[in-house]
Structure 1
Amino acid sequence: MPNAPCPTCGRPVDEHDRNVRFTLPTPLFELPDWRQAPGLWMSHETPTESVMLQAEGVGAFIRAVLPIRLADDHRLTYGVWVGVPPDLLQEAFAVWWGDNPAYKDLRLTGVLANKVLPWGLLGAPVVATVEDVEATPYCTESADPMLARVLTEVWAHDVLG
């Protein structure tokens, strides 16, 4: 039964393994018209497809996966943006595509560039590393106490309400 109720929380089981992908980093999203941001560059045609983007006066950003473990082996996965220094964006761009063996060693150090409810976390320091060469880097550690908890603890199914 695909939409059976969860014995722990009563919500449909289909809702437990969710993927949420932020279209834009929050600082760009909050502009009156992000499309008019000076020097806007995206790695692909749209921000939804893009894995990197940059805008003058706003910042440089790279996609990462923020995995959140839920009870009973379920997972909530956020596709977030990480704000990085422009030189790190250039380094990532140089190794991201193709079969470049250096991609597996890519380490992104920056700040979370999205508000992740219910925790907030915008601006929290984060490190993202490549766990699978066929995938986007994963947020793996943080010096921020709340983000460190989000990355390491198991959360109730109804963490988002």
Structure 2
Amino acid sequence: MAGKTCSCGRAVDGANPNVRFVLPDPVLELPEREGTPGTWMSHGTARESVMMQVPGAGPFVRVLLPIQLDRGHTLTYGVWLAVSPDDLQRTFAVWWEPEYADLRLDGLLANAIHPWGLLYTPVTATVRDPEETPYLTGSPDPLLARVLTETWVHDEVVPQ
């Protein structure tokens, strides 16, 4: 797989690729993106941040979207979840605390995922491991529910 890149412009290599979206798609649509006046990020840059709130786009929390591939591989996307302002505050309050292990977030997927799209699809994220970012674990949307539970053909799913 050497030399392949994803729609986020990052190289995708190896049997278990990881793809990290730097920004939520709604933020990409803003003229100043994360530089929009009034933007708050949990860390110094969007790439490092796990939470952000951007005027004109909303509040977001970084989550992981694991996709099971054939040959026993997994493609993991680091995506953004659009959440309510109250959920962002609640998430910030527990992120570095023991209560983080019980965090559950309901929101909308804030990145389009190749090849399905899925932008603005409702989804639930939960913490599997207190040392990791929350994982997308369920959705009332039939397609996203399939993406989360079925095994997909590697060459049809991994960005080319």
Q: Report the TM-score when normalising by structure 1.
A: 0.87
Does residue 1:37 correspond to 2:46, yes or no?
no
How many residue pairs get aligned? The number is 147
Match of 2:28, as an amino acid?
F
Aligned equivalent of 2:6: none
- 1:22 matched residue in structure 2: 21
Runs of 4+ residues over 4 Å off in structure 1: none
Amino acid across the alignment from 2:141: D
2:52 counterpart of 1:53: yes
Unaligned runs of 5+ in 2: 3-12
Given that 1:37 and 1:56 are in contact with CA atoms closer than 8 Å, whether structure 2 keeps it comes out as yes
Aligned equivalents of 2:151, 2:35: Cα separation in 1: 41
Q: How does 1:1-161 map onto structure 2 within 5 Å?
A: 15-97=14-96, 100-160=97-157
Identity %: 59
Say what the alpha-carbon RMSD is for the aligned residues: 1.3
Cα distance per residue 1:97-117 (max 9 Å; x no partner): 1xx221010001000000111
Distance verdict in 2 for CA 1:54–1:157, change over 3 Å: same
Rg larger for = 1
In structure 2, how many angstroms separate the alpha carbons of the residues matched to 1:19 and 1:159?
16
* Structure 1: gaps spanning 5 or more residues: 4-13
Contact 1:61 1:83 in 2 (8 A): yes
**C-alpha deviations, 1:111-147, integer Å up to 9, x for none?**
0000111000100001000000000000000011111
Q: Which residue identity does 1:20 align to in structure 2?
A: V
**Retained in 1: the 8 A contact 2:105–2:126?**
yes
1:15, distance to aligned residue in structure 2 (A): 3.6
